Amino acid sequence: MRKIKYKKGRKTHPNFYEYTGIHKSDAVDMQLFVYNDSHYKEFKNIPIDKVQQTLENSFHVNDVKWLNVHGLHDVEIIKNIGELLKVEPYIVGDILNTNRRSKMEELDDTLFFSIKSILPDEDLDNMRVEQLSFILKENLLVSFQEKKSDFFTHIRERIRTNAGIVCKKKNDYLLYLMLDAIMENFYITIENYEDRIEALMVEAKNNHRQDVLVRIENNRENLNYLKRAIVPLRDALYSLKTFQDDDEYDGIEAANYSFFARLHQKCLELLEQIDYDLNSLDSASHFHFSAQSQRMNEIMKTLTVVSVIFMPLTFIVGVYGMNFDYMPELRWHYGYFEVLAFMFVLVVGMLAYFKKKNWF
């Protein structure tokens, strides 16, 4: 189960930065796109000083600029980017702290987004979680990823080929495309778990082993974690909708608010599906316990019937097992066979009576 871990008793400077993720093997790689509806430039593995020169170049002042950062473990580079963009220090801290929940903040001319990307792991019992952060400011969008991935490959190709309307729109539309790409991972993850839940529903009806319950609980924990990642995103997108009536913030064009409203609607659909899947897991769990109880009842019923049948037989055997001298039946020539026949008729009669009463 995934839990947020806090370091207790750490006395450091408020602006102390620390990357809390696990992806630290690859070097930090920065990629910069500068484009409009007529041309684009792409800079790969660009250093921070070159980024600053490009951003300050008056020739690109009206162009949309997308800086994508792969890797967060080099804290100094992330800190320099924050200083270059003149964002609040705690925003840089939130970018580096991967244990924080998804959030959205609007600070004057800057919009900050933090979101979890979740995909099923190869062993299917766990999930791959990566935090992505975005800073939207003027004509610039900066995206921070913990490691290299293919979340935005199709967006890069659309910019390179000038396909669709991405090159005709501003950076707010680019942010929408990225958030939408990340939310597609939620759909993939939920679809994967739905297939597993359907199989668990069938197995819970036919399999009485305890490992079925263990797998049900594992899937329930993963779905709850997924829900915890989507709920703050839903709240952030709802808050973003309210900016449409805010005259103080103009980072998003009025015509593009409808795109973010679609993302909010997708969040609602995802949460509804997760709730449905959680209810299905509850049903599978309850059915498993009910089947176990029913199976136990059947066993107890069988044992009870057997016990009731042998009670009169035991009584008869006990009576004739007494060693009194004066027991006339002990001297009968066919007494042994007559008692056995009587015991047999008694058993058959009891079984017929129990069957007639549907007791087994």
In DSSP notation, 38-70 reads S-EEEESS--HHHHHHHHH-GGGTTSEEEEEEE
Range of the domain at 34: 29-290
Residue 228, C-beta contacts closer than 8 angstroms, at least 6 positions apart: 101
Return the beta strands (E) in 71-177 as ranges.
103-107, 110-120, 127-137, 140-145
The H or E element that residue 266 is part of is helix 257-319
Closest CA to 136 of 193, 201, 66: 66
Tokens of 276: 């449905």
H or E segment to which residue 343 belongs: helix 335-356
The pLDDT of residue 144 is: 94
* pLDDT tens for the 360 residues of the chain, in order: 444 444 444 444 556 788 888 878 778 889 999 998 888 899 999 999 998 998 888 787 889 999 999 988 888 999 999 999 988 888 999 999 888 888 888 887 889 989 988 887 766 667 788 889 999 988 899 999 988 888 888 999 999 998 888 898 889 999 999 999 999 988 988 888 888 888 888 777 776 777 788 888 888 888 898 898 899 889 888 888 776 665 556 678 888 888 988 999 999 999 999 999 999 888 888 877 777 777 788 888 888 888 888 898 888 888 888 877 777 777 787 888 888 898 899 889 888 888 887 777
Please identify, among 244, 264, 290, the residue that sits at the C-terminal boundary of a domain. 290
DSSP 68-87: EEE----HHHHHHHHHHHT-
Task: Give the model's pLDDT for residue 246.
Answer: 59
Residue 131: C-alpha distances to residues 60, 96, 182, 283 (Å): 30, 9, 10, 33
Would you call 227 exposed, middle or buried from its count of C-beta atoms within 10 A (0-12, 13-18, 19+)?
middle
Number of domains in the chain: 2
Query: Are both 213 and 149 inside the same structural domain?
Result: yes
Amino acid 247: pLDDT:
56
Q: Are residues 242 and 281 in the same domain?
A: yes
pLDDT at 125: 67
Domain assignment of residue 109, yes or no: yes
Give kind and range of the element (H or E) at residue 276.
Answer: helix 257-319
Instruction: Tell which of 290, 324, 345 closes a domain.
Output: 290
- Which CATH number belongs to the domain containing residue 209 in this structure? 3.30.460.20
- Shared domain for 38 and 121, answered yes or no, is yes
Euclidean distance between CA atoms 322 and 247, whole angstroms: 104
19 occurs within a structural domain: no
Q: Which of 132, 120, 121, 127 is nearest to 2 (CA)?
A: 127
Final residue of a structural domain among 242, 259, 290: 290
In a domain, 10, yes or no: no
Would you call 130 helix, strand, or coil by DSSP? Answer: strand
Same domain, 267 and 332: no
Alpha carbon separation from 89 to 92, 110, 142, 144, 169 (Å, rounded): 5, 13, 16, 16, 30
The CA–CA distances, whole Å, from 13 to 21, 93, 130, 347 equal 20, 12, 27, 86
Q: What is the CATH number of the domain that holds 331?
A: 1.20.58.340
Q: CB-based burial of residue 230 (10 Å sphere; 0-12 exposed, 13-18 middle, 19+ buried)?
A: buried
Same domain, yes or no: 248 and 106: yes
